Amino acid sequence: MDLEDFRREYLAPGLHRKDLDPSPFVQFESWLRHAIDAGLRDPTAMAVATVDERGWPSQRLVLLKHCDESGFVFYTNLGSRKAREIVANPRVALLFPWADMERQVRIEGCAERMGTAEALKYFLMRPRESQLAAWASAQSRPLSSRALLEDEFARLKQKFGQGRIPLPSFWGGFRVVPESFEFWQGRPNRLHDRFSYRRAEDGQWWIERLAP
Ligand SMILES: Cc1cc2nc3c(=O)[nH]c(=O)nc-3n(C[C@H](O)[C@H](O)[C@H](O)COP(=O)(O)O)c2cc1C
């Protein structure tokens, strides 16, 4: 497939140093709000990149479920590939791919396991089918057939009946505590705007423009 001529101009207004909030969290929330208001399909979907013990990277989309100054939260199966890799090496990178808005946000930091109480609070808010699916799936493990998964889902549905579905011990959340952010805004002629925020030792954020 030849894609050499597949391109477009980025025409959105620029990103200026004077318009950036001193806090990358506030800047992020403002862009996330724009992405939601613009009707992007999955504005909270973010790629999470991890590395394995050989240094091989891998990434996948997950849904951001909470963000504030303490970090970016997502939930997953604790036996999954991503979770196992994070336990061995907590350094991760996040990417919000808001290409429809000619924007992307990159975040690098360390992931930490969230407490069971927080995970339980979120688990109980999920639709019942999602709770059952969390129980039914040994995420990232080989599965010999789809029927096995569906049978397990049906078995658990029967088992739990109308009662409360407990939090599986193998399911929980991670909070990514950022060390750096980058906000990218597409501009005409590939002269894009990029600003990085890096956490200084005094806890302040150091902002600088990067060449596109
Ligand atoms: C839009 C989208 C949202 C997703 N959200 C999640 C999520 O919040 N948590 C999760 O564990 N997997 C989510 N997935 C599935 C993951 O991308 C991935 O397939 C799964 O977590 C297994 O990844 P792993 O084997 O690298 O651990 C999502 C996939 C897509 C496309």
Q: What is the mean pLDDT of residues 24-50?
A: 97
Q: Kindly state the helix (H) or strand (E) to which residue 110 belongs, with its residue range.
A: strand 103-113
Active-site residue, from 190, 194, 199, 209: 190
Which atom of ligand 1 is nearest to 84's Cα?
A: 27
Span 123-170, pLDDT tens digits: 999 999 999 999 999 999 999 999 999 999 999 999 999 999 999 999
Domains and CATH numbers, the chain: 17-126+167-210 (2.30.110.10)
Angstrom distance (rounded) from CA 31 to CA 183: 9
Q: Confirm or reject: Cβ of 91 under 6 Å from ligand 1.
A: no
**Do 70 and 131 contact (CB within 8 A), yes or no?**
no
Over the chain, what is the mean pLDDT?
96
Residue pair 83/77 in contact (Cβ under 8 Å)? The answer is yes
Q: How confident is the model at residue 12 (pLDDT cuts 50, 70, 90)?
A: confident
- Tell me: pLDDT of 60 over 90: yes
Closest to 210 in 3D by CA, of 109, 104, 68 = 104
96 sits in which H/E element:
strand 91-96
Q: Is the pLDDT of residue 8 over 90?
A: no
Between the CA of 60 and the centroid of ligand 1 the distance, in Å, is 6
Mean pLDDT of the region 173-190: 97
pLDDT at 44 over 90: yes
Alpha helices in the chain (DSSP H): 24-37, 81-88, 116-125, 128-136, 146-160
Binned at pLDDT 50, 70 and 90, residue 11 comes out as: confident
Q: What is the pLDDT of residue 166?
A: 97
Q: Which residues pair with 173 in a beta bridge?
A: 75
Q: Is the CB of 61 under 6 A from ligand 1?
A: yes
What per-residue confidence (pLDDT) applies to 161?
95
Quote the CA–CA distance of 192 and 198 in Å, as a whole number.
20
CA angle (27 as vertex; 25, 29 as ends), nearest 5: 70
Cα–Cα nearest to 178, from 78, 21, 28, 32 = 28
Amino acid 88: pLDDT: 96
Cβ–ligand 1 distance for 175 under 6 Å, the answer no
Q: How many CB atoms lie within 10 A of CB 52?
A: 13
Q: What is the mean predicted confidence (pLDDT) over 99-112?
A: 97
Q: Distance (Å, rounded) from C-alpha 120 to C-alpha 127?
A: 13
Q: Is 43 helix (H, G, I), strand (E, B) or coil?
A: coil
Residue type, 155: R
First vs last C-alpha separation in the chain: 27
Residue 179 has pLDDT above 90, yes or no: yes
Query: Residue 106 catalytic?
Result: no
